[in-house]
Amino acid sequence: MIDPDGELVRNAGAGDQRAAEALVRRHLPKMVGVARRMLNDGAEAEDVAQEVFLRVWREAPRWQPGQAKFETWMHRVALNLCYDRLRRRREKTDPDAGLAVADSRPLASEEWLARQRAAKVHEALAKLPDRQRAAIALVHFDELSNIAAAEILEISVEALESLLARGRRALKAALAGVAQDLLGGAEGGAP
Amino acid sequence: MTRKEEAMNRERFAELLAAYGADFRRWPAETRADAATFAAQDAEASALIAEARELDSLLDEARSMPTPSADLAERILASAPRMQRPSFDRRAVLALAACAVFGVVIGYSGGLLAPPAVAEDDGYFSMAFEAPTAFEDEG
């Protein structure tokens, strides 16, 4: 298996700044994105992304191409850091902490509707069990293949499909009528 | 009909739809062609697809993400490993410096140890112009 990041990782590990920059360019948006979807908090997501790269720099000098691709390993690190934060968050605070709250301020109706729908979706995603949310983040939002997502989550493709299906079913239930409600609300309240 | 096409029935189609949504590009690569064929032939497939697409569209409402902080990449790169200057460079500089010092020392000490050129010349001159006393004695 040829790892598309193999050479960059080796060079970055040897102190090549250009290779390090290329790795950051290639992977930082994905790491921030998956962490944001898991944590629903921008600042925390950036902290996670930074921590992922600290581990990348630490591992790069001794990275050996093996069973997992480097990107898979990075995703696993990011998700594990997110799981840790979510666990600590649950221990410390109420379960709704960190959820996006639908904005009640009136805005131009199209923008307002879009924001409200996005907030509802984020809220519904945040309430999913962590593994289901991770599966949907990887497959729907990051558009990774089923095989890549299953590798990251260290489960079989069948188990991934089960997580996805349960997650989508829960989202569908949570978001039932969202579009219609918001349209009705917009007619009555939003300018 | 091939075995692969036989494997795609309504039950499997609904399972895949429930997991991956309505966009076949998210489906397992090996099922996409069969899924498209099945969807074109099955009377109920389009209703199932429309239902899944509704959730896909809602999820897509939450697709866009705020841009990460401008300095995040800089902060990350600041912690990246730095290229160490190759050690032979420093050795080469040290060796050159040592050579220069050695050269100066040798040059200076050589100047001190060598007999003064003027005194030597004086000796030759005095020998050359000295009176040949020995020949006078023999004669």
Q: Which tens digits make up the pLDDT trace of B21-71?
A: 999 999 999 999 999 999 999 989 999 999 999 999 999 988 888 888 889
- Note whether A50 contacts B76, CB cutoff 8 Å: yes
Long-range contacts, stretch A157-166, CB < 8 angstroms, 24+ apart: A157/B28, A160/A135, A160/B19, A161/B15, A161/B16, A161/B19, A161/B20, A162/B19, A163/A131, A163/A132, A163/A135, A164/A132, A164/A135, A164/A136, A164/A139, A164/B18, A164/B19, A164/B20, A165/B15, A165/B18, A165/B19, A166/A132
Last residue of a domain, one of A60, A77, A98: A98
How many domains would you assign to chain A? Answer: 2
Residues A52 and A83 in one domain: yes
Residues A1 and A94 in one domain: yes
Residues A163 and A84 in one domain: no
How many domains would you assign to chain B? Answer: 2
| Residue in chain A nearest B84 by alpha carbon | A15
Last residue of a domain, one of A53, A72, A98: A98
- Note whether A53 contacts B20, CB cutoff 8 Å: no
The pLDDT confidence band at residue A64, using thresholds 50, 70 and 90, is: confident
A51 versus B131: the higher-pLDDT residue is A51
Residue A91 C-alpha, separation from nearest chain B C-alpha, in angstroms = 27
Q: What DSSP character marks residue B1?
A: -
> For the domain that residue A189 is a member of, what is the CATH number?
1.10.10.10
Contacts of B19 in chain A (CB under 8 A): 160-162, 164-165, 168
Residues A149 and A173 in one domain: yes
Amino acid in the structure at residue A145: S
Residue B93, pLDDT score: 57
Report yes or no: B15 at the A interface, CB cutoff 8 Å: yes
Domain enclosing residue B16, as ranges: 3-61
- Note whether A140 contacts B21, CB cutoff 8 Å: yes
Q: What is the ipTM of this complex?
A: 0.81
Give domain status of residue B20, yes or no.
yes
Last residue of a domain, one of A77, A98, A119: A98
Domain enclosing residue A32, as ranges: 1-98
Q: Which tens digits make up the pLDDT trace of B68-95?
A: 888 999 999 999 998 765 555 556 556 6
Residues A129 and A94 in one domain: no
* DSSP string for residues in A158-179: HHHHHHHHHHHHHHHHHTTTHH
Note whether A27 and A49 are within 8 A (CB). Answer: no
Q: Which tens digits make up the pLDDT trace of A25-34?
A: 999 999 999 9
Residue B38 C-alpha, separation from nearest chain A C-alpha, in angstroms = 20
Q: What DSSP character marks residue B83?
A: P
Residues A56 and A84 in one domain: yes
Average pLDDT, chain B: 76
